[in-house]
Chain A
Amino acid sequence: MKILRLSFANIRKHKKESILFLILITLGLVLLAASVSSVIGIKKITPKMVEESGCYKNFAYFKQDHYSDIYLEFLKDNPDVESFDHTSFVSDIIKVKSTDEGDMLTDICFVPESGERRMENFNTTVGLDSADHPIVLASANRKKLDVTEGDNLTITWNNKEFSFTVAGFYETGIWNYGTKAVVSEEDFEYLENCMDERYEMIGINTAEGVDNRILLSDFKTFAEDASINDLSGSVYTYTYEDTVSTNDINMSLLSIIIMIMSAVIVTAIMIMIRFRIVSDIREQIVSIGVLEAMGYTSGQIAASYIAEYVLIALISALIGLAPAFFMTKGLIQNAASNIYYGGPVTVPAFPLMLCVLAMIIFVGLIALSRAIAVRKYPPVMAFRKGIDTHNFKKTILPLDKTKGSVHIRLAIKELFQNAKNHVGLTVCITTCTVLTLLGFILGTFFASPDRILGSVCGHELCDIRLEAVGDIEPSAFASELEDMTEVRQVLTPAVGIGVKITTDSNANTSDPDYPVTLEVYEDYSKTSTIFVINGRLPEHENEVCVTVQEQKKLEADLGDTITLEHGKIKKDYVITGIVNSAVNPITAYLTTPGFKRMDPSYTPSTFDIYLNDGADKKEFAELLRRRYGKEIAEYKDDDIKGEALEEKIRNAADKKMAEAMTEEGVSYMEYAIRVGDQTITGSTSIMKIKSLTFEKEENEEIANMLLVSFAGIAVIMMLISGIVVILILSILMASTIRKQYRELGIMKGLGYTSRELKFQLAFRIVPLAVLAVILGTILSILLMGVVNAYVCKIIISAFSIIMMDLAILLYCFICAYICAGRIKKISVYELISE
């Protein structure tokens, strides 16, 4: 009780500093507890989603034209397989008509009701057999598409409209997550005929102890051997373990960033408590002597200091528990929404309480590490104020050599005299600088959706991608497009072609053939969003670039040779560059002649069109349609109608030709139909467009999501850093003023104004802040190097970093100057009359 009384007296005496500590510890505690417990809570979401939805755990996707039921033979009677089933689905980026905000592009995966019922519980009582085209959406779409039961949902694909009535919503499992939309068998059949991206999905549950990775690899090999087609790039497998770990990493990103921030605050708490206890002991040394003389042991006095901080930490725990709980819940809910899980989330109470307890113990231990210094002062030494006032050091920066401002000289002199005490502050400002700069870099660089797309894609983004059909000469067609006034340039890439990579190092592993998709360009110097972080892009036919992720997986480096396999043809290529690609990590980059080594018959049919600034994409697409005909699917899907017989015949002929081109691979057709005396002729020369897609626009949703996330993270990082800096400087200044009360009072007596002394105190931190900002900038650049290497290419001008550094310095100085404001309260008269 005696000890607590001393602690309360100390808290009462320094109310403001205690409140600042309370805020700092509460902030650290809330962020630490919320981030740690949310990471633990997030780990439970994917298993919960699987359990609640009853979906399969492992998956294999096949492009439908490469799928055969023969593959299922591998799974039948396989002792490692517990159960399996399969369904068809179609998936693409589709335009959804919204009544409020115009059209929006979104990824939708249509599944037939029977298929979804086979793949998971499909927890809905809604019937899908009514005549008004019912659709049951994954529950995440309620908010995303802003629709509710009974609403009309109109989607457009390839200029064709489909109308559905929203019949209900359901919680989905982990295959295709919240993009799923369940439709009736008839509607699915219709969609399947209209849309290109058709897949077969096989869900597999394995027996306990089975290595899913090996099983799926064996399954893939079986399918490849059984198939008459080359399955490269047409089959994808996902093990449950990979799904869980990928989900956990993606969902925990925000929590991990908050955890880093809490680590910064915990560091600040540690440094500030140690600093303040030292100041307290120095300031109260005579009182300590008196207490010791009265019979208090040094242990009791030290315990009073420890109890003071433990009390503050306890109050922080009481205040912070509720915000930590709600923040944890918010973080888990936010994470759950990333994988479209809309079910209830639970906050793990035990880790939350454990973090709170750990924080209290941590604060107590830090206080103990410094408070123990009381033992150094027996009563007599305490009365004599230790030997702190006994200075025998060499004089640093003698004042008789002063040139310029005496205030700056005094500030620097004091700084050097107590350099050891300022190490902690430098560490705090350095970490805050790193957070602020990273926040600033992320915030400013990703302020533009274009930049986000360019940085994270590892894929060349154009305004319009034209897939051509029929008998065209690629270079002549590209030149023709390039001659149009709206066009800046045209590239002829080959994309999405599946190949397998083999290296010597992975030949004997469980996954010897590593499947990747190719990006092929004639001339990479014309590309602008494929960034090489090491080496250079391919220039010759035997050169290849791989992504950072592939490089790691293949354990290959620049100059190494890898073998690519496409259509049973294997060729060796030398790695000339490493590309960063967060979105497309399994991509390899070849030149057109390089790809032709594996596929000599390859002719480009994709034309990436880059428009001049100001050119309207939609208008240009219309222009293309007028010049080269509408998309071929539209001819195919058109109803045969028309006023005159000739028109009807032409439409019917076009439809037939379109079917032949898309389904039979016919490249050119002509027709001549005699009707009475008249001969109606036509050819496929007017059908040059297979599809037109707006590459940038289609990726805008992802870009906007990332933009909001990056902006949020940047703001949080900068805000937390700002709060931490102002809190530590407040505590530092308050402690310094208390510690130097006498010196500051004397200087006031000598005629130094409060403003000059405030400047001196604030200026003391400037050299530290400069050092800290330099260190922080170096660390940030190193960290950005890691981000550049593994996530995305971030280009930021040195000028803006320097300006931000200056802003941080100015902020630190202004905060310190304001926090030193309590110097005004020092009364010379009180000092003298003590």
Chain B
Amino acid sequence: MNRILRTEKLCKSFSNAGLQQHVIKNMDLEIFEGDFTVIMGSSGSGKSTLLYALSGMDKPSLGKVYFGDEEISSYNNDQLAVFRRKHCGFVFQSIYLLDNMNVFDNIMTGALVAQKNSPELVDRAGMLLKKVGISEDMWKKYPNQLSGGECQRVGIIRGVINDPKILFADEPTGALNSSSGRDVLDVFTELHKTGQSVVMVTHDIKTALRGSRVIYLRDGGIVGEHRMPAYGTDDDTQRRESLQNFLNDMGW
């Protein structure tokens, strides 16, 4: 498997009222192409901080982050923005659709920053929306006219419209009911099956079950890593048990 992301002695600390809080400590991590990497851990373990450091949303305090052979941790904010538009897609827990734009414009806002408009791009956006169950009559609707699940599916399409090398997701089902959450996870699974690399933060076992590799964090460090068995039967009991055992070992 090709390594797509790598960290070297990654540290991230925050200063609050003169007190330094070390959230990530000397972390060495590799993310591989085609993997569906799930980052788990208890609250405050540094999951989201790690995700945003890996994706170039935030800069590490110390250490390095490499995308391929490129060290992105030395980039300035604008360089990181260009890196994100070229190589990354994002799905947020709070979805963060632009309220003043309709569904299609929300997707095109993400697309047009990275590439020029073309009939193929518009076709691709339409195709992806249909694929996730957003019918054409909803394309001109505004976010406040959609359900949470529909919004998140639009959010995912916005994340993958540029065919990113890696899709980052921060608790994408956190704000959804179970039915909508399942629909959204199905989209992630489908994307992964097409070869999309995904890095997802979650504390939900059902969500983690969709991954191919699980990394467990505690106190800013990796304390365990588990590679999930391949998909098998529909209920995937083997995967569930395997993950359950791993998490039990981690003290979940």
List residues of chain A with CB under 8 Å of any chain B CB: 389-392, 395, 398-400, 402-403, 406, 409-410, 414, 417, 742-743, 745-756, 824, 827-829, 831-833
Contacts and interface: CB of A to CB of B under 8 A. Distances in A.
A832 B52 contact: yes
30 contacts: A390-B142, A391-B99, A391-B100, A391-B142, A392-B145, A395-B105, A398-B108, A399-B108, A400-B105, A400-B108, A406-B112, A406-B113, A742-B96, A743-B100, A749-B84, A749-B92, A750-B109, A750-B110, A751-B83, A751-B84, A751-B86, A751-B114, A753-B81, A754-B77, A754-B78, A754-B81, A755-B78, A824-B77, A829-B58, A832-B96
A63 to B, nearest CB: 79
A398 B112 contact: no
Given A402-B117, A752-B85, A755-B78, A747 B142 contact: no
A829 B57 contact: yes
B56 to A, nearest CB: 9
Contacts of B77: 753-754, 824
Interface string B87-111: 0101010101111111011001110
B109 A399 contact: yes
A755 B85 CA distance: 14
B48 interface: yes
B198 to A, nearest CB: 17
Given A402-B108, A754-B81, A755-B78, A395 B102 contact: yes
Contacts of A824: 77
A400 B58 CA distance: 31
Given A753-B78, A753-B81, A754-B77, A402 B112 contact: yes
Contacts of A831: 96
Given A391-B144, A398-B102, A824-B77, 10 more contacts: A392-B142, A392-B145, A747-B98, A749-B92, A750-B85, A750-B158, A752-B85, A753-B77, A753-B78, A753-B81
B93 to A, nearest CB: 8
B109 A417 contact: no
Interface residues of B, number: 41
B58 A751 contact: no
Contacts of A402: 108, 112, 117
Which of A829, A832, A833 has the largest count of B CB atoms less than 10 A from its CB? A832
B58 to A, nearest CB: 4
Contacts of A399: 101, 104-105, 108-109, 112, 117
A832 B170 CA distance: 10
Nearest to A829: B58
Contacts of A751: 81-86, 88, 110, 113-114
Q: Which 8 A-B residue pairs are closest in the complex by CB-CB distance?
A: A751-B85, A399-B108, A406-B112, A753-B78, A829-B58, A753-B81, A751-B84, A391-B142
B110 A829 contact: no
A748 B108 CA distance: 15
Nearest to A827: B58
Contacts of B117: 399-400, 402-403, 406
Contacts of A755: 78
B96 A749 contact: yes
A743 B101 CA distance: 10
Interface string B59-85: 000000000000000000110011111
B147 to A, nearest CB: 15
Nearest to A387: B144
B125 interface: yes
A461 B125 CA distance: 76
Contacts of A398: 102, 104-105, 108
Given A390-B144, A391-B99, A829 B108 contact: no
A43 B11 CA distance: 74
A392 B144 CA distance: 9
A827 B105 CA distance: 23
Contacts of A828: 52, 57-58
A409 B113 CA distance: 12
A390 to B, nearest CB: 5
Contacts of B97: 746
Given A749-B96, A829-B52, A832-B92, A410 B109 contact: yes
B247 interface: no
Contacts of B170: 832
A105 B92 CA distance: 81
B84 to A, nearest CB: 4
B22 interface: no
A833 B53 CA distance: 13
Contacts of A743: 98-100
Nearest to B121: A400
Contact of B100 (A403, A417, A827): A417
Interface string B124-160: 0100000000000000101111000000000000100
Given A750-B84, A750-B158, A751-B81, A395 B140 contact: yes
B143 to A, nearest CB: 8
Contacts of A747: 98, 109, 113
Contacts of B88: 751
Nearest to A389: B99
Which of A402, A417, A746, A829 has the largest count of B CB atoms less than 10 A from its CB? A746
B112 A746 contact: no
Contacts of A745: 96
A597 to B, nearest CB: 78
B122 interface: yes
A756 B78 CA distance: 9
A425 to B, nearest CB: 19
Nearest to A400: B122
Contacts of B125: 400
A753 B113 CA distance: 9
Contacts of B81: 748, 751-754, 756
Contacts of A400: 104-105, 108, 117, 122, 125
A832 B57 contact: yes
Contacts of A753: 77-78, 81-82
Contacts of B114: 751
Contacts of B86: 751
Nearest to B96: A746
A750 B113 contact: yes
A750 B52 contact: no
A829 B144 CA distance: 24
A724 to B, nearest CB: 29
B48 A833 contact: yes
B218 to A, nearest CB: 20
Contacts of A417: 100
Which of A389, A395, A417, A742 has the largest count of B CB atoms less than 10 A from its CB? A395
A450 B52 CA distance: 69
A750 B98 CA distance: 11
A754 B144 CA distance: 27
Contacts of A748: 81
B140 to A, nearest CB: 6
B191 to A, nearest CB: 18
B57 A749 contact: yes
